[in-house]
Structure 1
Amino acid sequence: MSTPVEIDLLGPMRLRAGGRPVEVTTGRLRALIAVLALSAGRTVTVQQLVAALWSDALPANPRRSVQTYVTRLRTLLGADLIETSATGYVLHADEAAVDVLRFERLLERADGNADPLRQRACLAEALELWRGRPFDDVDSEWLSGTEAPRLEERHLAARERRITLDLDLGRPADLVPELRELTAAHPLREPSWALLLGALERSGRRAEALVQYERVRARLVTELGTDPGPQLQAVYARLLAEPPPQTRTSARPVPRQLPADVPDFVGRADALALLDHAATTAPVATVSGTAGVGKTTLAVHWAHRVADRFPDGQLYVNLRGFDPDRPPVDPTDAIRGFLDALRVPHELIPADADGQAALYRSMLAGRRVLVLLDNARDARQARPLLPGSADCLTLVTSRDQLIGLTATAGARAVTLDLPPAADARELVTRRIGGDRVAAEPDTVDELVTLCARLPLALAVAAARVAGQPESLEYLVAQLRAASGGLEAFAADDATIDLRSVFSWSYDGLSGPAARLFRLVGSTPGPDIGAPAAAALADQDADTVRSLLGELTRAHLLTEHTPGRWSAHDLLRAYARELAGPGSRPALGRLLDHYLATALLASGFLRSDRETFEPQPPPSAAPDVAEPLRGADAARAWFAAERRTLLAAVDAAADRGYPVHAWQLAWAHTIDLDWRGRWRDIARVNGSALLAVRELDDTEAEAHLHRLLGRAHGYLDRHDDARAHLERALELYAARGDLVGQARTQRSLGVVKERTGRHEESLDHDLAALELFRRIGQPAGLAGALNAVGWAHAMLGRYQRTLEFAGQALTALQGLDDRLAEAATWDTLGFAHHRLGAYDRAVDCFEHALDLLRELGGLYYEVVTLRKLADSHEAAGDDTAARRARDLADAGLAELGELPATAPGGPAARPERQPARPGSR
């Protein structure tokens, strides 16, 4: 007798046999169970199973693979549970034991029953079976692309039928929250919108229903280019036909306190959409952001846009949370002002603050009022002013994040960032006129950049040039000369003077947080992590994280990605002004931290051929480094700090830290090489070379020339490459450094190869080989043998390539130099491809890829994947070729930018190969 089985697929798969859970970890085995369960008791053909389990990427023998998985499933569930038929397999399970089948049978029972209450019971039971998306953790294109959408559509339709029955049973108000959730999840689904409008209408909220109809109509037109269908139009016609509500016997005052809207409001579509969503899902919304970013402008503009949704009025108060001249408004005073606006007789207002707050909430009960609390100091100031009515909406703006309102009042938070460049330009255009912008487009672009896209700074700048035809270029020249300073934004009016505006946030900081803000302003790079901030401030990590949190809540810093903080350029300029010349010791601590961590990280990425080990200054000892564990952590750190390290090299070179400059450049180059970032390598080593000439350190100078020459070679700046490499040879020769000479000869070979001078390239590689033989360094010898083999390949001597690359593999035995081994397999694959042995070429390239993936050499993976794709294609396997090219394209996307010479297979331009694995 077979063991009873239960299979749940409406969410993450759950499998029970004999009442006990069964764990299935293999992806295709889960897919097999799901497909058989959907046809429990009926035959599923082998062809259907193959299509569901593998889609287009079929195994070599699909039928045998299916048999293998069925055998494993029988072992798991019992041999008699799955029967082999003439054309396929049958799962012997009761339909009631499969939640998908049970769901569909319950829907059929609902269809066949005339009693509304029984219909609803069937639908409710069916809907209760759902725990998430069908086949949520089952890997099958057929299930996720065909069956899941079909079931989800049936689920939505069943939910709408159940809601329709509930409406008919007289529960409209209770259904509005569920329908808001449903329309938010499916904003273009008209049946759900029709139900929401009907529920609002039956709840006596016809005006709100009309507003919601206009909202969905606009969205349908914008996104689908079509008007609402007959169902929605019928509901709309019914709403318009309803007689207006009877005039109230006693008119209530309707306050209209909103400030004037900004006539030239620009952009902020995302923020406006977030506020629209917040208005339908929560009684409170907050807008926070840094000084001058446009919080009040946005809030007032949006409030005017939605004012008609609040027919009982709009209340406004400036809470002066960050006013330089006056104290913040006491909440009790704000409530008194609101009660006056609501025309409450003074004799009826209680004397105590609690009584006034209770009266304020009572006056708003049952009304639809918008309350705009502008410029709140913090959540404590705003909280007493929140109405108690769910029909009201409160919008609060602040430089503080107002986390307290999110936690205690369910507020929906909107964080306002700098506008995109296009919107910033449009703001200037509207203030000074399109003709002037068209006449001086480059000047306007520079103005936007110098104003850091900060709306207040843009408004001040535009106001200064409006109506003065000759002043635009003059103002930009002033800003340019100020080098990011704030002098050009000074004004008599404190509300638009940037120093004054920023100071209102700065003055509210604790002493340690204010000190950290001053120091962050003078740091190199666009952002900073917590460990670097700890080194900068000479504080422990926990203390600094607390200070960073304080600065973030004040919007003087932004945590733009988890664990990394930044500020826009004008705030950084303000911080630098506050810091003055006293920040140099902090910069030294920061550079020590970056150098010590970079040297630690580079150690995890160096190959056995790298024998040079720089000696950092004593202040950059290992104990000031960020603790990293292994190559993956090293690569992640370099990726997070890349732009900051580039700036740190420049800062070290410019501010008198030449040792930090060249050693940072050297350490960073090891990671940049893995990513194919030749331009960055040229930049950092160029800056470092200028600095290191102060030291009379010919060893460092030689290394930098070699790295620069190699980078210029891959950037196809061949004259510069030769000049740097020849200078490196001279310096290495003067020092008697044979390893440096050998590696420089290899780099010269690459430069000659890229110019098509393959015989000369071979000469350089042979010179490197001879030097490594004299030195007796096995890793360097193996790399040189492989380079000679590659040079022969460029000359069409593929048998010679196989000989030298084979010798390289022999030399690598026991060395654990996986990069050199990957390079050698890549060379062998190229030679086999050219000799027409495409299957052997594929094996070689895949061997190289396995090694590169262990090392995390993504750029070199891309190079080898392109060659692998060519070999698959030549062998007639177009599917495998397409898969390899897709992986190469995904690798390029992950790298974030195309390499200087995009990887191309040997069939494309063999004389101009990109960097080969191990060629450094």
Structure 2
Amino acid sequence: MRFFILGPVEVATADGPASVARPRHRALLAYLLLQANQVISPDQLIEAIWGGAEPSSARSQIHVALSELRRALRKLGLDEVIATRPGGYLLALADDELDAGRFGRHVEAARDLRKRDEVEESVRRLQAALGLWRGHALADISAAYAQSARQALHEHRLNAHESLAEAELTLGHHDALLPALGKLVEQHPLRERLVCHLMLAQYRAGMQAEALLTARRLRARLVEEQGLDPSTRFSALEKAILNADPALDLAPRTITISAPPSDTTPAQLPLDTWGFTGRDRELAELDLLADVRDTPPVVLIVGTPGVGKTALAVRWAHRHGDRFPDGQLYVNMRGFDQDRPPLDSFAILRRFLSSLGVDPGATPEDVDEAAALFRSLLARRRVLIVLDNARSADQVRPLLPGSATCAVLVTSRNRLRGLVAHEGARLLQLGPLTEDEASDLLRVALAGRSDALAGGRDALAGGSDALAGGSDEDGDAAARQVALRCAYLPLALRLAAAQLTGQRHLTLADYARQLTTGDTLAVLDEHGDLDGAVSTAFRLSYQALPPATQRLFRLLSLLPGQDFAPVAAAALLGVSLATIRPRLEELCIGHLVSEHRPGRYAMHDLLRSYAVRTLESEEPEADRTTAARRLVDFYAETVFEAYPLLQPRRLAGDREVVYPPREPLRFADRASALDWHDQELENLVGVVALANAHAWHRRAWQLAADLLAYFIIRRRWPEWLSVLRTGLLSAERSGQPEGRAHMENALGVVHKQIGRYAAAREHYGRAIELAARAGNMRMVAAFNANLGGLAINEGDLEGGLRHLRTALSIPEYGQVPQYAVAAYINLGCALIDMERYPAAADALQRALMFADVADDTQQACYSHHNLAEIALRQGDPVTARRHAERQLRLAEEIGDPLRRASAHDSLASALVHEDQATARTHWLEARRIYRELDHQIAAVLDEWLAALDTFSDAAELAAADEARRRRCRHLI
């Protein structure tokens, strides 16, 4: 048995919700429900119905009405609901049989949860409470008691809205709050607590001016309507917003994230060093240092350049990989790279979080928040983190886990005393190899120097006459001499062995002499100049290369990223892949580059510094410039070619002609294009900067504009902002208003996506102005469409419609399907929010037609999603199901997980009244995908699935489901 008063008064029956037909019967029933489990006298009923103006027959009318009410309830299957008791009547209810009672218990539970700082669960309970409302309480009751009862219930509802907004602000959901909060403030403009929440949400969304305008409106209303000043709390908030007080920023908090899917378990360790020898004592010491039970073990491996810190860390990590089944994270922090700045902690956190399954768009923008999320993800997991080439303790500190189940290896040339003193890092000082270990390393590395080279003796045994230039003893002495001259450093020893292996005529004795003589070589002093030893070894290895391979080594220093693919190396030289591969192999054999991971190569930072010096001293400036231009053109043309796979529509414009034309990569499908962008991201960001530095300004801003298709999918905000700022600088220097317009528009897109609406509006406004100045009406229209979408997000539906209609009125845009399709979808979304469903359906059908003409599967997917929502709101599950199934097929075709999840959600809503088990299956699949994306809708579906069995009738379920979908629409 269930009753509903938070809306029209209704009764739950086996056939669904039903209303008591006669108004007076409903009024009596509602009053008894409000006074449930109490004996109500006839006089109380008379007062409630007539409010002191009752007729003389009031008592008999009450008696007759109650008898008729009982009969009406019996017809609905409810017997003995109202009982006669001494002194009056009683309606007995259990705790969950009245929606107002369930509402109150949800709110009370949410309050208790908030006191325990369980904010997410508190939000879920408040959302469940507000989801019980179906309109105005007691909507069809006009009896004397109704108005005061309605006001009391609505006060409780507003309090719940305010508590929910406060909790959502704590969780950082200010963007999603803005539309609903704006409407609530419009309806209750004098409610200070609501206005304060709206002001804070606007401020945190980057809308400081709007927040202050909201404050001024409240002040004016209070003075005009009540002659009052606002409260001290309000004034303090207004002042803090005016001063941009940092205390208003979202406080860091620990975020609970569900486990990533198994296929996102990271395994990022570089390849183990071939021929690793010695270091038994250090490996055993590492075993002890990394075996700490109560705190996360942090081991700091320090030593001079080339001493083998990375090799030791990677060898230990590979040896103990089974201790860390939840993954191994690795990063070269570039702490001592001469030509590139160290990686900042936030950039590394973004990489690690992405590797652990967090959608880049869900990564907090603050380094402390991102670090808290990282620690939360690692809680109770067994993960190994290798932080290679750290510069400082501050660079490392945000990357440390909080769980004792994880371990961290840090390598550095510095002792990082702060890490030892404050984080308890255990120190392992790595010195050069011993004389025996160094000799062993040489012998292992010289395994390729066969006895045929030695004229019949075994080179590996250290006694080849040809290698030693004499007896076995001479060979052993020469090996030890080389080891000494290489200062027993593994890097120098491997380079020496590589040169000896590659030059059949060179003996160990000859090589030992070269290390100490010759006008062009640095002579090691008697104290063992380590840097000199390494530089000398580099030089000898470099000089042993063929000239074409030497040139490749020099030019590789132009690559801005940590690693590269062979095709990028080929672009530098302007040669084919077939030509470049043997040269890369020669560099690998000589240990001047290494295969960092399959298909991608990297260069040690010391070697990179040496390559830069040789480039500056040996490569003519004109040739360096030509190589850099080839590299820029390769990346720019490849991104341009990939664009249609990622985003079917783009604003066409004049492109800089490349002479001679560079052959870009071409991709078979969207997935391979995305994968290439992911791997090349650091190089892409760097190449835009390289183009700007060489004053190739049109190329720089065009590449920045073309990267929109990738960034809008991956949502790598810091990298995108870096690219756009460089692109804008180039566009300004080029004097091309169209270029500046493209950059301003893309900056608007970024700021809208990250919730900085005020900044987005400014960028869109400048983009429109610049496009108009350039006379490009298509761009004017496109940027108006974007501004319209922003207005809709802010809750300004009429303003959004104006901008969209402006866009569509421009023929170059509105009559071209590939452009107009997005504007029609935004128009349809606005009309849905305005509940103008026929007009919304017309706009979306036109969008669907344009998407078909333009072969734009992504926009067709969006159109079907919104058409399904219209059908659901109009009570047409058959049509909704048809659109949702089509959306699902298209989302699977383009590989868009977010749209797959929303399609499953719509399908479930279309099926729930017909087949709740199948609907639940679709909701579970939607939740799984949302969790993989770390999307906040996953939490909404958690709550929904938990509440699904609590709805007693179809109407209540339908109303609650629609309320849930309305809330989720602006989260997708």
Scaled by the length of structure 2, what TM-score is found? 0.44
